[in-house]
Amino acid sequence: MSAGAADHIYTLHRSPFALAPVIHNFYQSWEGTERDILLSYLVLPLVTYKPMSKYLNRALQTSSIRTMTSESARLVGLAMRVEEFKEITNAALLILGSEKRIVIENNLSVRPIEKPQAVNADKKLMRYSEKLAMVLKGESVVTTYRMLGLKSL
């Protein structure tokens, strides 16, 4: 079975090389906490989903995870999207680690070393990842997963 043009475009848009800067940008804006590597598995499924990206586009400093989860349409199918993006997220983290752009500490926290390389990245997704870090600020990883209705990774 040959791949069509739509398959190739999907592959290009879902490339770990193109999406790694989005995850990196999230951690650049994030205040590190213990085991925050688990948040990297939420970044891509949240910022690429249209209803959630509309919310993130309008998010303010006063926005929180409670306002983000107040509308259930933003969370529909999140567990499925997390599973879909898991391999891409793993590859993106490997890319960022091998390029020495992030360091994964012993307590499983991610520390950015350099600024994100945004040449290959979608500018909107980069902005949404910053806003997601702003919205999730102050919440623990466990609370974030619980509020989003995720029971496991």
153 assigned to some structural domain: no
**pLDDT number for residue 12:** 59
Assigned domain for 143 exists? yes
| Total number of domains constituting the chain | 1
Structure tokens at 144: 């974030």
The verdict on residue 50 lying in a domain is yes
- Tell me the per-residue pLDDT of 85-132, one tens digit each, with 9 for 90 and over: 999 999 999 999 999 999 999 998 999 998 888 776 789 999 999 999
Q: Which structural domain range is residue 20 located in?
A: 5-147
Report d(CA 69, CA 91) in Å as an integer.
28
How high is the pLDDT of residue 9? 64
pLDDT of amino acid 37? 93
Report the pLDDT value the prediction gives residue 14, as an integer from 0 to 100: 74
At 131, the amino acid letter reads K
Q: Is residue 152 part of a domain?
A: no
What pLDDT is attached to residue 99? 92
| Banded model confidence at residue 13, pLDDT cuts 50, 70, 90 | low
Q: How far is CA 41 from CA 24, 37, 78, 106, in A?
A: 12, 8, 11, 18
Distance CA 5, CA 109 (A): 39
- Residue 61, domain member (yes or no): yes
On whether residue 102 sits in a domain, the answer given is yes
State whether residue 103 is helix, strand or coil.
strand
pLDDT (tens digit per residue) in 19-47:
999 999 999 999 888 899 999 999 999 99
- Give me the mean pLDDT over the 53-61 stretch: 93
